[in-house]
Amino acid sequence: MPQSTDQIKDHVALFKDPEYQEMFARKREDFECGHSAEKIAEVAEWTKSWDYREKNLARTAVTVNPARACQPLGATFCASGFAGMLPFVHGSQGCVAYFRSHLTRHFKEPSTQVSSNMTEDAAVFGGLANMIDGLQNSYTLYKPTAIAVSTTCMAEVIGDDLQAFITTAKQQGAIPADFPVPSAHTPSFTGSHCDGYDNMLEGILSYFWADLTPTPNEKINVIPGFDGYCVGNNRELKRMFGLMGVDATIISDPADIYDTPADGTFRMYAEGTTIEEAKDAINAKATISMQQYCTRKTLGMIKNKGQATEAFNYPLGVAATDEFLMKLSEMTGKPIPQELAIERGRLVDAMTDSQAYLHGKTFTVFGDPDFCIGMVRFLMEVGAEPVHVVASNGNKAWAKKVKAVLDSSPFGARAQVWPGKDLWAVRSLLFTEPTDLIIGSSYGKYLERDTGIPLIRLSFPIFDRHHHHRFPTWGYQGGLQVLVRILDKVFDILDSQTNVAGVNDISFDLTR
């Protein structure tokens, strides 16, 4: 065999060796019972047609590769942003393994969360025993300051009552009676990770605010929402708050959890919003959400407590950052400092320097509802043209909002908005109405392979590239990062089209 102790090959090279290629060929021939190569090629070509597109877009009974995850993923992400809080999922071990691996693969950091380990017997008789044992073990072994409980499909289908189970666990002494255990019902079969984040955050704040009477102060609460770039973005928010002299509390801040140093110390709970800060947040002057579609229920609850609220849609680029900072200034009475004004000018200068390479470039954007709005606004700022805007977890109201954003600029005239569509539908869109580039998550690499349209990774999850999440995408500094990421791909494409010496290298320039 080609693999031995004297010759260790990476799997990329290993499986190209003749022994493996012959094995794969025998497997196809003897076991897969597939169609002929000619028939496969014929059907594959048909799937690129307008005829197939109409059938594909008309699908209602099945979803193929949606650009979204399920509610408990968002719930565990939200809970991880509170100092010492342990995310606890009432459901099967396999579900939690998926949530952990999804976050770990994106952030390249361990994601601490546990489950009640429900199995077949719990599906029949209920998960009370699992909840009691799970809470007791979690409290004893991991010594959290709080445990945040969410649910998966199994617990929701059989109708387990979280609050009753938690109360029973306390009555039986599994955990102390005064130990904080906020909870939220987060069924996986409806909504998305954005809804799970919202449900969990509402559950946490409602729990800690239950017996409190607001005593208004001058602080501002800021809720980032579900954000794969939370490490860079939350730190950028804190930097801007510091420059403005704003006393702000970031509610659910997992930045340090997903960016721990390698210094010999394991940090199961690394910083985050403290329980004291979560309680004090009821006294804030106002609450700002950076992502409207991650916080609809939470903002409604906060508004009912008498606080002013404001929601943004992923503030990326010049205009969106302007709006955020001006609203922050209005709420706090703090002026926008010269340092941020200079940063704004630098971003405008960078956009001007590069506009010739982006003007008229067409884009397909897919991702979460707020991300799509923020990215579309930024693309139009640099003179690019969004053509397809897709959010698997977007609805008709979201589509109407996106359309209004697109109508505000001539660069949005060609755009089509596709709420609720999956990435298999996007494939048909790209074959029939191709764009120059795609912006989305790592799952877009299969679209890139099939259609030949280059992918720019600027969303969640990013599994096949490293460390993007450490840099901001919000604010003027974030806008500069996104601009560079897009330009690098544009220049790589340009170089690849002019790289054959003596044939097409007339424009293979050192200066772009």
Residues 6+ apart with CB under 8 A from 392: 63, 66, 67, 68, 192, 366, 420, 421, 422, 423
294 carries an active-site annotation:
no
Q: What is the mean pLDDT of residues 321-348?
A: 97
Handedness of CA 269, 270, 273, 274 (dihedral sign): positive
Q: What is the mean pLDDT of residues 458-470?
A: 95
Quickly list H helices, 247-295: 275-280
Q: What is the mean pLDDT of residues 37-46?
A: 93
DSSP SS3 for 113: coil
What average pLDDT does the chain have? 94
147-178 pLDDT, tens digit per residue, is 999 999 888 888 889 999 999 999 999 999 99
- Taking a C-beta distance cutoff of 8 angstroms, is the pair 342, 417 a contact? no
From residue 496, alpha-carbon distances to 364, 376, 492, 502, 507 in Å are 21, 27, 6, 14, 11
Judge whether 71-209 and 220-334 match in fold.
yes
153 carries an active-site annotation:
yes
DSSP SS3 for 216: coil
- Taking a C-beta distance cutoff of 8 angstroms, is the pair 472, 458 a contact? no
Quickly list H helices, 60-152: 71-79, 93-107, 120-125, 128-142
Instruction: Give CA–CA dist 292/313, Å, rounded.
Output: 6
Q: Please say if the pLDDT value at position 186 is more than 90.
A: yes
For the beta carbon of residue 42, count every other beta carbon within 10 angstroms: 11
Q: Which one of 89, 114, 149, 153 is the catalytic residue?
A: 153
Lowest-pLDDT choice from 17-31, 93-107, 141-155, 163-177 = 17-31
Q: Tell me what pLDDT residue 8 has.
A: 84
Query: In CATH, what class is 71-209?
Result: alpha beta
Q: Tell me what pLDDT residue 35 has.
A: 86
258-315 pLDDT, tens digit per residue, is 999 999 998 889 899 999 999 999 999 999 999 999 999 999 999 999 999 999 999 9
Domain coordinates in residue numbering, the chain: 71-209, 220-334, 339-496
Determine whether 129 is exposed, middle or buried from the number of CB atoms within 10 Å of its CB (0-12, 13-18, 19+): middle
Residues 6+ apart with CB under 8 A from 305: 209, 214, 282
Q: Which one of 43, 157, 484, 500 is the catalytic residue?
A: 157
CATH topology of domain 220-334: Rossmann fold (3.40.50)
Residue 274: name the closest of 298, 239, 250, 241 by CA. Answer: 250
Instruction: Give CA–CA dist 223/310, Å, rounded.
Output: 10
Residue 78: name the closest of 232, 253, 222, 305 by CA. Answer: 253
CATH (one of 3.10.400.10, 3.40.50.1980, 3.30.565.10, 3.90.220.20) for 339-496: 3.40.50.1980
Q: Tell me what pLDDT residue 481 has.
A: 97
Q: Tokens standing for 295? A: 């916080």
CA–CA–CA angle 234, 260, 224 (5° rounding):
20
Q: Tell me what pLDDT residue 10 has.
A: 85
Q: Tell me what pLDDT residue 1 has.
A: 59
- Taking a C-beta distance cutoff of 8 angstroms, is the pair 382, 355 a contact? yes
For the beta carbon of residue 346, count every other beta carbon within 10 angstroms: 14
State the pairing for strand pair 85-90/146-151: parallel
For the beta carbon of residue 31, count every other beta carbon within 10 angstroms: 8
Q: Tell me what pLDDT residue 289 has.
A: 98
